[in-house]
Amino acid sequence: MRCKFSDDENGRIRALERLQVLDTPKEEPFEKIMSLVKQTLSVPICAVSLVDKERQWFKASRGLDVDETPRDISFCTHAIKSLAPYVVTDACVDPIFAENPLVTGGPKIRSYAGIPLTMSDGYNVGSLCAIDTVPRNFTDSEIAILSSFANIVVDELELRQLASKDALTGALNRRAWFEAANKEFERARRYSRPVSFLILDIDHFKSVNDQFGHSAGDEVLRHFSKTVSDELRQSDILGRYGGEEFVVALPDTGIANAKLLAERICEAVRNIRMEEINGNTCTVSIGVAERLPHEVAAETLVERADVALYQAKSDGRDKVICSDNRQDDFPRDAAA
């Protein structure tokens, strides 16, 4: 059975990046799972393999002396295309793997069982694999054990992701948003691609809390966050910046399209009818800024968006203001 998202490689890579686990140090829970897999299945090699664009990177492993291999020779790149366990009983006679350098050379893989690591959003980010250096028929019981351990690995990965989320709205918390936004900013800088940030502030939110209570205020924040999230692409990054203040990083987006998106968000927020505030609506002010060619820190981009937000508030709220009005300077806008 093929994975539902097997054709959405960009979405899969984004899902992997959202975990923020690539190239992180060794961690005890994954090391422990490796020891248990090796022991219970009696295999010389096992790994938690995360399949990146061009490589597979091992969060943890046993019996391997490298941290990564090129993706095109990895067994796990085949495993992640499936929802079912991927098993190779004898790689030396398998037409796909017989000439594979991991088979003909070290670590001399002969048999392989890989269970896709399927996250809650449906993407297979990697696999938990058990490898032997002799031909082997992995039994149903062994596959069941390996599958159970794969579920445990996913639990561990998702628990780390939860630590980065705002519990009320599901948006990234401030620290996690800055980490993710910094990566997008650096990517934009390195490849001379546009990136824009939005800062959004719900208008008159204090009066919602004062008039309807904090529970109603929390519901407004949830509605607001979902409304904004519904307008974003998979690659955009939403964070909760402060009480009623949110931030969005828009990769590959110049200021013209960022402004269009911000105006769509304003419109969508205007149209929410919230029972918690007696069917009233709320509005939002948004500051927009695109990275300038000389800009080297994500913080300064946030600051410019913040200045634009201040201007939107001063100009009467419920509107979008762009930093520097530089729409004409970036014709290479890639976002729709």
Partner 1 sequence: MSETAISVVKELMGSVDLQSVPVTLHSTLEKHQEHLLSLAVSLIDSGVPDEVAKQVVSDVLDSFKIELFHTIRSLREASDAL
| Spatial CA neighbour of 126 closest among 10, 20, 47, 208 | 47
Is 158 a binding residue for partner 1 by CB under 8 A? The answer is yes
Contact assessment for residue 116 and residue 153, using Cβ atoms and an 8 Å cutoff: no
Minimum distance from residue 175 beta carbon to partner 1 (Å): 7
Binding mask 167-196 for partner 1 (x = CB under 8 A): x-----xxx---------------------
Minimum distance from residue 273 beta carbon to partner 1 (Å): 26
Residue from the set 95, 163, 279, 332 that interacts with partner 1 by CB under 8 A: 163
Which residues, 208 to 237, sit near partner 1 by CB under 8 A? Answer: none
Residue from the set 13, 22, 36, 292 that interacts with partner 1 by CB under 8 A: 36
Q: Active site residue: 54, 244, 263, 276, which one?
A: 244
- What gap in Å lies between CA 334 and CA 336, rounded to an integer? 7
Active site residue 244: yes
CA angle 195–199–201, rounded 5-degree value: 165
Burial 230-249 (b: 16+ CB within 10 A, else e): ebeeebbbbbbbeebbbbbb
Q: Phi, psi (5° rounding) for residue 118?
A: -95, 115
Minimum distance from residue 148 beta carbon to partner 1 (Å): 4
**Token digits of residue 138:** 């992995």
Minimum distance from residue 330 beta carbon to partner 1 (Å): 33
Rg from Cα positions in the chain: 24
- What gap in Å lies between CA 1 and CA 17, rounded to an integer? 25
The region of 31-39, 100-108, 123-131, 279-287 touching partner 1 under the rule CB under 8 A is 31-39
Is 164 a binding residue for partner 1 by CB under 8 A? The answer is yes
Minimum distance from residue 215 beta carbon to partner 1 (Å): 14
Which residues, 132 to 151, sit near partner 1 by CB under 8 A? Answer: 139, 141-142, 144-145, 147-149, 151
Is 33 a binding residue for partner 1 by CB under 8 A? The answer is yes
Minimum distance from residue 151 beta carbon to partner 1 (Å): 4
Residue from the set 159, 296, 297, 334 that interacts with partner 1 by CB under 8 A: 159
Which residues, 98 to 127, sit near partner 1 by CB under 8 A? Answer: none
Burial 181-215 (b: 16+ CB within 10 A, else e): bebbbeebbeeebbbbbbbbbbbebeebbeebeee
Binding mask 37-56 for partner 1 (x = CB under 8 A): ---x----------------
| Spatial CA neighbour of 183 closest among 17, 15, 52 | 17
Q: Which is nearer to partner 1, 10 or 148 (CB)?
A: 148
Q: Phi, psi (5° rounding) for residue 259?
A: -65, -45
- What gap in Å lies between CA 127 and CA 210, rounded to an integer? 50
Is 26 a binding residue for partner 1 by CB under 8 A? The answer is no
- What gap in Å lies between CA 221 and CA 201, rounded to an integer? 11
- What gap in Å lies between CA 79 and CA 97, rounded to an integer? 13
Catalytic center residues: 244
Binding site for partner 1 (CB under 8 A): 28-29, 32-33, 36, 40, 139, 141-142, 144-145, 147-149, 151-152, 155-156, 158-160, 162-164, 166-167, 173-175, 240, 242-243
